[in-house]
């Protein structure tokens, strides 16, 4: 969003701030992707942070020599994580984004007629003309009810912070049957651990997590015309290939000899510094360590911060609790959303890189006066100023 606003929206740098609690930009992406053991992205090269679809391909051509992994994986030219990250680094460096990074967590957003006040974990309050909530899927991992929070030797693959697994071979249960679980299991096996991959469903093999038809009019036309928010939610749920893996990861699993154990864990208990897992079949399994790869919570992202904003600014929500926004992704005349928060408008790809690209395009389009002219229900006649990604007054 920030790159697009600077490069194509011609927003002056002085009025833009990126509020992010991590010490560096893209920190969460780097940490989760590295931890998962992924070597290539699942999405094609055209889904990248550059100003046009081909910038990553051009960058990769320049850089192909000296990279450890093959730069693209067929089919669909999926970039290696290494080249994708190197490309992001270059874009961030060239745009000088690090200088716009304000390291803090947003704890409160108060929407007013003339400005939005953004309260930070540092105690500061930023006064912004416009805010984009680009908080992704919210980062809240889904913890099964039987897994005790904060116990030793128990981790979540998509949880905050990092976890280190000792180099000495351990027995590790990876719980989950999706891409994160399979890639992590393969990585731990490469690191010589004794891995049991426990999946409650048979492996589901799909190239993408969402049919590419959702990126264009094929499916989006009907979705955008759908007036019922519940029907939109159902379409999103139906269309996501949740817990699925692409064929190349499936092939690597087959080659590795790592056969998933089809079972459902119903309880776990600490026994002499190890974990005893109880399966629904009545069987038990004892391991040194457990890694949950059970995905993210389906709740609306943003926790208490967004809950308060909804209540205080009386923002419209669908029965599923997610924002009802206009085509320019405005939830409030001064507050726009992207990522999961925009999915009732952008459809099932909202959570992916393609969704981030489309969110940025919608915001840019609205700045240029392009696109559908449906006015936001909460719009007032006073000036709306320029959009700012959680930042100082424009
Ligand atoms: C292992 C893995 C592999 C993936 N592979 C692919 C792939 O191949 N292709 C694809 O398209 N997508 C993939 N994804 C999804 C991809 O990560 C997302 O599409 C992308 O990160 C979305 O970007 P985002 O900026 O919207 O959200 P995020 O990357 O989630 O960033 C949200 C940011 O908001 C910050 N934040 C949250 N709350 C607050 C707050 N209150 N105050 C301040 N900051 C806050 C967070 O710290 C975080 O940095 C993958 C995800 C994972 C975990």
Quick: pLDDT tens for 263-317.
999 999 999 999 999 999 999 999 999 999 999 888 999 999 999 999 999 999 9
Distance CA 348, CA 342 (A): 10
d(CA 334, CA 115): 8
SS3 content of the chain, % helix, strand, coil (to 5): 35, 20, 45
Per CATH, which fold does 154-206+241-292 belong to?
FAD/NAD(P)-binding domain (3.50.50)
Q: How far is the CA of 351 from the centre of ligand 1 (A)?
A: 8
pLDDT for 390 beyond 90: no
Residue 324 carries which DSSP code? P
Q: Give every CB contact of residue 197 below 8 A, 6+ residues apart in sequence.
A: 174, 177, 181, 182, 185, 258, 259, 260, 261
Residue among 241, 353, 356, 360 whose CB has most ligand 1 atoms within 8 A, to mutate: 353
- Does 375 have pLDDT greater than 90? no
Q: Report the CATH architecture of 2-139+298-367.
A: 3-Layer(bba) Sandwich (3.50)
pLDDT of residue 160: 74
Question: Does position 248 have pLDDT exceeding 50, yes or no?
Answer: yes
The predicted pLDDT at position 164 comes to 75
| Pocket residue to mutate for ligand 1, from 29, 128, 142, 291, most atoms within 8 A of Cβ | 29
Residues with CB under 6 A from ligand 1: 19-22, 28-29, 32-33, 36, 38, 41-43, 47, 105-106, 134-137, 139, 158, 180, 305, 338-339, 351-354, 356
**232 Cα: distance to centroid of ligand 1 (angstroms):** 22
Return the ligand 1 atom nearest residue 106 CA.
42
If you average pLDDT over residues 37-46, what whole number do you get? Answer: 95
Q: Which residue's alpha carbon is nearest to atom 19 within ligand 1? A: 352
Domain ranges in the chain with CATH number 3.50.50.60:
2-139+298-367, 154-206+241-292
Mean pLDDT, rounded, for 210-219: 96
| Average pLDDT value over all residues in the chain | 91
CA of 288 to the centre of ligand 1 (A): 30
| Tens digit of each residue's pLDDT (9 = 90 or more) over 27-40 | 999 999 998 999 99
392 — pLDDT class (breaks 50, 70, 90) = very low
Task: For 99-176, list the strands marked E by DSSP.
Answer: 101-103, 106-111, 116-120, 125-128, 131-133, 154-156, 171-175
pLDDT of residue 372: 55
End-to-end CA distance of the chain: 16
Q: How far is CA 42 from CA 13, 168, 199, 342, in A?
A: 33, 31, 20, 21
Distance CA 54, CA 343 (A): 25
User: What CA–CA distance (Å, rounded) separates 240 from 249?
Assistant: 18
Q: How much is the pLDDT for 388?
A: 42
Q: What is the dihedral of CA 141, 147, 152, 153, to 10 degrees?
A: -80
The pLDDT value recorded for residue 270 is: 96
CA distances from 259 to 35, 48, 62, 255 (A): 21, 33, 39, 10
Span of 6-10, 110-114, 275-279, 342-346 with lowest mean pLDDT: 6-10
pLDDT confidence band for 370 (50 / 70 / 90):
confident
Position 246 pLDDT exceeds 70: yes
Judged against a pLDDT cut of 50, whether residue 394 lies above it is answered with: no
Average pLDDT over residues 236-244: 95
| pTM score above 0.85 | yes
């Amino acid at each position: 969003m920030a790159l697009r606003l600077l490069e194509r929206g011609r927003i002056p740098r002085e009025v833009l701030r990126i509020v992010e609690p991590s010490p560096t930009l893209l920190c969460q992406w780097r940490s989760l992707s590295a931890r998962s053991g992924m070597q290539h992205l699942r999405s094609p090269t055209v889904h990248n942070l550059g100003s046009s679809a081909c910038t990553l391909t051009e960058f990769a051509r320049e850089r192909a020599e000296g990279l450890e992994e093959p730069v693209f994986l067929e089919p669909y030219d999926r970039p290696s994580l290494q080249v994708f990250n190197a490309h992001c680094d270059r874009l961030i460096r060239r745009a000088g984004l690090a200088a716009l990074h304000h390291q803090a967590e947003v704890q409160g957003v108060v929407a007013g007629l003339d400005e939005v006040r953004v309260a930070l974990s540092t105690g500061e309050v930023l006064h912004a003309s416009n805010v984009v909530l680009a908080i992704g899927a919210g980062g809240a991992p889904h913890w099964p009810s039987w897994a005790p929070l904060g116990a030793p030797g128990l981790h979540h693959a998509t949880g905050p912070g990092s976890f280190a697994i000792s180099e000495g071979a351990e027995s590790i249960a990876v719980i989950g049957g999706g891409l994160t679980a399979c890639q992590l299991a393969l990585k731990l096996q490469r690191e010589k651990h004794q891995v049991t991959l426990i999946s409650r469903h048979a492996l589901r093999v799909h190239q993408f997590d969402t049919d590419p038809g959702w990126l264009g009019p094929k499916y989006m036309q009907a979705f955008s015309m759908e007036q019922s928010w519940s029907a939109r939610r159902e379409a999103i749920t139906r269309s996501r290939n949740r817990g699925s893996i692409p064929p190349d990861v499936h092939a690597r699993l087959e080659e590795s000899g790592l056969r998933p154990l089809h079972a459902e864990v119903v309880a776990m208990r600490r026994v002499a510094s190890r974990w005893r897992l109880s399966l629904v079949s009545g069987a038990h399994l004892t391991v040194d360590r457990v890694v949950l790869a059970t995905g993210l919570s389906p709740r609306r992202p943003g926790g208490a911060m967004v809950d308060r904003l909804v209540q205080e600014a009386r923002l419209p929500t669908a029965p599923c609790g997610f924002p009802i926004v206009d085509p320019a992704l405005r939830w409030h005349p001064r507050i726009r959303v992207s990522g999961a928060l925009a999915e009732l408008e952008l459809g099932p790809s909202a959570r992916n890189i393609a969704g981030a690209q489309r969110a940025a395009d919608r915001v840019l389009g609205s700045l240029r006066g392009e696109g559908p002219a449906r006015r936001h229900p909460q719009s007032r006649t006073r000036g709306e100023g320029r959009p700012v990604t959680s930042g100082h007054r424009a």
